[in-house]
Structure 1
Amino acid sequence: MTNFSITKFVPEYLRANPDVRFTARQIAIWIMETHPEAVENKRKKSAARKTPLDTDDAMLQQIVAEIGAQRKGLEGRHAIRTTEGRPRKFFYSDKSELEEVAENAVSDLIGNEQTQGVKHSEHDLYPLFRDYLHNEHQVICKRIDERKSSNNRGSNGNRWLFPDIVGMEDLSQHWDREVIDCAKEYSDKKTKLWSFELKLKVNSTNLRETFFQAVSNSSWANLGYLVAVEFQGSETLGELRLLSGLHGIGVMRFDPEDFSSSEILIPSRERAEIDWGTVNRIVQQNPDFKDYVSLVRQFYQTGNLKPSEWH
C-alpha cells in the first residue's frame, strides 16, 4: 500500500521539472493523477476520522491546503523554492539565488528574451508595464533611459539616480471644469508623480540592493515603487515590509502575461510634496527626465495630457 506524503510527492514532481513554476493546485492535480492508490488510501483514512473527502474536488482542495501548510518544511528540508504574491508558485532549481540574479542581468544586457531560459529581459517589461499602469491605475508613464545621462558615473552609478519609469496620475480627470479652475486658483495640486524601479526577480541575494536602489531613485516623487515579476522566498516580503515601513517605498508584483494578476503587495507611503531640488539635479543630467517634467508642466498649463508624447 502506497502512503500519501506531501514531502515525498512534491519534491518528486518539482525535481523532475527543474526551474518550472507550479501552483499548489497544479501540483495537487498531478498527485491525484499520478498517485491514485495513495490518494485513495488518504480518502479511506479521512472517512475513518469522520472528515470525509468523498469527492475529487474535496480531495483536491485538501491536498492544495496541505501543500501550502507544509511550505516551510519543503523549503527547509527539500530545497524547494517558492514565489510570493498570488498565486504562490513552487519550483526546484540547481542554480543558487546569486546565479539566478546574474542570469537575469546577462539576459537584460544583451536583450535576448530566451537567454538561459529567461523569458523576458528587463527592457522587455517597460512598454508592457507602462500599458498596465495606464489601463489599471490611470497613470500615464514615460521611460527614463539612464544611458542618455550626461554625467560620467557610468551605468552602475546611474542605477542609483534614475528610475526606470516615471508617471503622472491626473487627479482631476473626472472633475467638473469649475472644480478644476477653482483648484488652480488655490494652487492645489491635481496630480501625483510616481517613480518605479523594475526588476525581473527579487530574492534574498539582491533584496536590499534593489530596494535601496528604488529608495535612491524615487526620493523626489509622491509615490515610489519597487516592481518585480517574481519575488522569491518565504522571508522576502517580511523583510520588504520592514524596509517599506522605514523608508516608504511600495512593492508591486507585475505579471507581464496577465495584467489582472499583478498586484500591489505593499502600498507606497505618499509624500505630500515633490523634492524639487532632486528633480532639478536629475533634469540637468538626463534629457528623458527633463522631457517628463516639461510634460507635467504643460499639463498644468493647458490641461492637455498629450498622450502621444509620453513614451
Structure 2
Amino acid sequence: MNAKLDLKKRVIELLSANPEKRFKARDIAVWMTENYPEAAAAKMQKSGFIENQAQLLNQIVAEIGSNRPQWQKQLPQLRTTDGVRPRLFYWTEKSEAEEVADIESGRNLFVEFGAPAEHAAEPTATVVEKKVVRRSEHDLYPMLIEFMESEHNVRGQRIDEKKSSNKYGSGGNKWLFPDVVGMENLTDGLHPEVVTAIRESRDTRIRLWSFEVKLLINRSNARETYFQAVSNSSWANFGYLVAANFEGAETMKELRILYAMHGIGLIRLDEENPPESQVLVPARERPDLEWAMCSRLAVENKDFQQFMTKVRQFFQTGDM
C-alpha cells in the first residue's frame, strides 16, 4: 500500500463515490485513517510531533481546511457550505444554478454523515446517515423571527407579497416587498423619565428592519439576491439578506464586496436551532427612515399596513 496519505486524492475518492452526500472534515479524516492505516501511521511517524490518533485527526482536519480553497479552484465539483460551522464537504456534477433551482423546488433532499464518536480519544469511522429534510423558504420565516427577537430584541412580522394589490400590473411590485420586517424598541429598559424625555425631544425611539430570505445563496444567484435585498430594504434602518446556506468562498467574497457598496448585512439561519443563527456581516445603519416608501408599501400591501399600524401605536403608547 502507498505509504503516502495523499489528502487531495483521498478527499476526491470519498466524495466522488458518495455524490451529494455531505461530510465534515473530521469525518473525512476518520475515513482516511481507517481505510489507509499504513499511510496514516507513516504520516504520524514522519511528523515528529503527532503522538496519538486524536492529534493525527486534528492535523488532517487542519490540512484539509488549509488546502480547501486551492482544491476548489481546481475542482469545480468539490463544494462546501460556507458561513456555517462545521463546514460540510460534498461532490456534485450540478451547476450552481441547478443547485439553487433544486433547493427552491424542494427536490434537494440531501444526506449528511456524522461520526458520533468524533470527540472521543480514539474516534472511529462509524458514520450515521442523517437525512436533512429540505424545508421551503416559508419555513424559514418563523425561524428568523425567533432568532431576531431572542437575540436582538427585534419584533418580527411576515410580509406576504401575495396580499399586494398589484395595481401596477405584472412585475409592478417586483423586488418591492421584503419577506420579513422588524421593529426594535430603543427605549426598552430605560427609566420612564428618560423615555418621556426622549419622546418630548422627538429623538429616535425606534429602528425598523427588513429581511430578504433565501434557502441557498451561491455564486449563481449571489448578486441577484443581494440586489433584491437592496431594493426591498430601501425604506428601513437596517437591511439583511438571510440564507440557510451560503456556499463557496467566492460567494462570500462577492457578497462582502457588495456590502462595501450598499451596506446590506448577511445572516446565516440555523435551521436546526434558530437562536444559534449568526449575523455574518452586520448591516450598515441608515439614520433616517424613508417614510414615502413606507407609505407606498402600506398602500400596496395589507401586511405592511398592519406593520405600520404597530409602528404608529408604538409612537403613541410606547408599547410593542
Q: 2:195 aligns with which of 180, 195, 216?
A: 180
Task: Give 2:67's aligned residue.
Answer: 70
Query: Where has structure 1 moved over 3 Å in runs of 4 or more?
Result: 152-159
Q: TM-score, normalised by structure 2?
A: 0.87
Provide structure 1 residue ranges, at least 5 long, that are not aligned to the other structure.
108-114, 306-311
- 3-state DSSP of counterpart to 1:256: coil
CA distance in 1, matches of 2:213, 2:63: 34
Deviation at 1:94, TM superposition (A): 2.1
> How far apart in 2 are the matches of 1:165 and 1:153?
22
Counterparts of 2:306 and 2:273, CA distance in 1: 30
Contact 1:167 1:195 in 2 (8 A): yes
**In the alignment, residue 215 of structure 1 is paired with which amino acid?**
V
Deviations 1:121-166 (A, max 9, x none): 1011111111111111111100000001001456765340000000
CA distance in 1, matches of 2:78, 2:169: 38
Determine the structure 2 residue equivalent to 1:98.
Answer: 97
Residues 203 and 61 of structure 1: is their aligned pair in 2 closer, same or farther, counting only changes over 3 Å? same
Which of these residues, 79, 82, 88, is aligned with residue 80 of structure 2? 82
CA distance in 2, matches of 1:252, 1:19: 24
Contact 2:19–2:91 (CA<8 Å) still a contact in 1? yes
152-161 or 22-31, which moves further after superposition?
A: 152-161
Q: Secondary structure at the match of 2:138?
A: helix
SS in 1 for 2:300: coil
Residues 191 and 9 (structure 1), Cα distance of their counterparts in 2 relative to 1, 3 Å cut: same
2:183 to 165, 168, 180: 168
SS at match of 2:210: strand
* Pairwise CA distance, 1:92: 0.9
Equivalent-residue separation in structure 1 for 2:71 and 2:167 (angstroms) = 47
**CA 1:156–1:28 in 2, change beyond 3 Å: closer, same or farther?**
farther
Indicate yes or no: 2:287 matched with 1:248: no
Asked whether the equivalents of residues 222 and 272 of structure 1 are also in contact (C-alpha less than 8 Å), the reply is yes
Deviations 1:151-207 (Å, cap 9, x if unpaired)?
145676534000000001111111111111110010112121100000001111111
> Match for residue 30 of structure 2?
29
> CA offsets, 1:258-299, max 9 Å, x none?
235421111110000000111111111000001001101111
Aligned residue for 2:55?
A: 58
Query: What CA deviation, in whole Å up to 9, does each residue of 1:58-117 have, x standing for no partner?
Result: 11111111001111232133321122213122111122111111112323xxxxxxx341
Alpha-carbon shift at residue 56 of structure 1 (Å) = 1.8
Aligned partners of 2:25, 2:174: CA distance in 1, in Å?
A: 36
- Other-structure match for 1:45: 46
Residue 111 (structure 1) aligns with: none
Normalising by structure 1, report the TM-score: 0.90
Deviation at 1:25, TM superposition (A): 2.2
CA contact (8 A) 1:146 1:159 kept: no
Report whether the alignment pairs 1:17 with 2:18: yes
1:258 counterpart letter in structure 2:
N
1:134-173 matched pairs, under 5 angstroms: 134-152=149-167, 157-173=172-188
Higher alpha-carbon deviation: 258-267 or 169-178 = 258-267
Counterparts of 1:130-279 in structure 2, within 5 Å, are 130-152=145-167, 157-279=172-294
Structure 2 unaligned regions, length at least 5: 110-132
Q: State the distance in 1 between where 2:258 and 2:95 align.
A: 24
Q: CA RMSD in A?
A: 1.6
User: Cα 1:172–1:155, aligned 2, differ >3 Å: closer, same or farther?
Assistant: farther
Change (3 A) 1:260 1:134: closer
Q: Work out the number of aligned pairs and report it.
A: 294
Q: Report SS of the residue matched to 1:83.
A: strand
* Alpha-carbon shift at residue 32 of structure 1 (Å): 2.4
Contact 1:82 1:91 in 2 (8 A): yes
Q: Secondary structure at the match of 1:184?
A: helix
Q: Which has the higher strand share?
A: 2
Give 1:23 shift.
2.4
How far apart, in 2, do the equivalents of 1:70 and 1:200 lie?
27
Letter paired with 1:6: L
Letter in 1 for 2:303: D
- Percent same amino acid at aligned positions? 48
CA distance in 1, matches of 2:267, 2:197: 35
Matched, 1:287 2:288: no
Higher helix share: 1
